[in-house]
Structure 1
Amino acid sequence: MHNKLMVPVVAAFALMAVPAMAKDRVGYQAIAAGSLTQAEQTIDAERAIFPDRPELMLNLAAVYARTGRDAQARALYSDVLARDAVAMDLADGSVQSSHALAQKGLMRLSSTMASR
């Protein structure tokens, strides 16, 4: 089973393609709109039910990274890497492993810290 992953140009990782009228349960629409507080609330609510879903961990890590909480983002990316890899469908039609996406997130955090 593949998880849907949308990667808007402005967000590091925003997951799950959903119709415009559907409830955004993974924070994608909020992240894409720049509503990071709303995205975090949505993701936190879903993680209370599904704490191990990699798309939720990756999206929350992206929110943390974009709001300067690098240690929390790093911890979530590490959590994804500690679990079995899951194939994720990207918005462009390609498929990537949850591990590859977590590693990219960690690399972004490292490059951001190096430029500070």
Structure 2
Amino acid sequence: MRTILVACLMAGIATPALAADRTGYRAIATGDLKGAEQRLIAERRIFPERPELMLNLAVVYGQTGRLDAARGLYAAVLDRPAVAMALPTGDSVSSHEIAQRGLARLTPAMMATR
């Protein structure tokens, strides 16, 4: 199973440990969502199944209001086998958990008042 360094799990941003900025991580972290999107789309043409690319593109789509597109990418990650991802703390989390957290952030909480 591939291990991928997740630099910022709470933001849902994933990045391979030794890659340049092939995952759009730096662009997302600095707020360059347009640049991140361009990089991620280009990388997905080469590596369409890589979960870190799908997860990061879902973050970009979510942050730019394209919630349906973000949901579709999170669902695509969940439709594939889970990939173990290592956190900077040394902990491990699955790509499925990151996708589920991302989906939860896109869905507003519903509360009953009665």
TM bin (shorter chain): 0.7 to 0.9
**Superposition CA RMSD, Å:** 2.1
1:111 is aligned to 2:108: yes
Task: Name the structure 2 match of 1:14.
Answer: 13
Change (3 A) 1:56 1:77: same
Aligned residues: 110
> Computing the radius of gyration over CA atoms, which structure comes out larger, 1 or 2?
2
Change (3 A) 1:64 1:112: farther
Q: Over residues 52-108 of structure 1, what are the superposed CA-to-partner deviations in whole Å (9 max), with x where a residue is unaligned?
A: 000000000000000000000000000000000000112332211000000000000
Tell me which of 9, 14, 27 is aligned to 2:24.
27
Q: After the TM superposition, list the runs of 4 or more consecutive aligned residues in structure 1 that deviate by more than 3 angstroms.
A: none
Q: Which structure 1 segments of 5+ residues have no match?
A: none
Alignment of 1:29-48 (within 5 A): 29-48=26-45
Alignment of 1:75-114 (within 5 A): 75-111=72-108
Q: Which structure 2 segments of 5+ residues have no match?
A: none
Q: Percent identity?
A: 52
> Residue 102 of structure 1 aligns to a residue in which SS?
helix
Is the 2:58–2:73 Cα contact (8 Å) retained in structure 1?
A: yes
Which protein is richer in strand relative to its size? Answer: 1
TM-score between both structures, scaled by the size of structure 1: 0.85
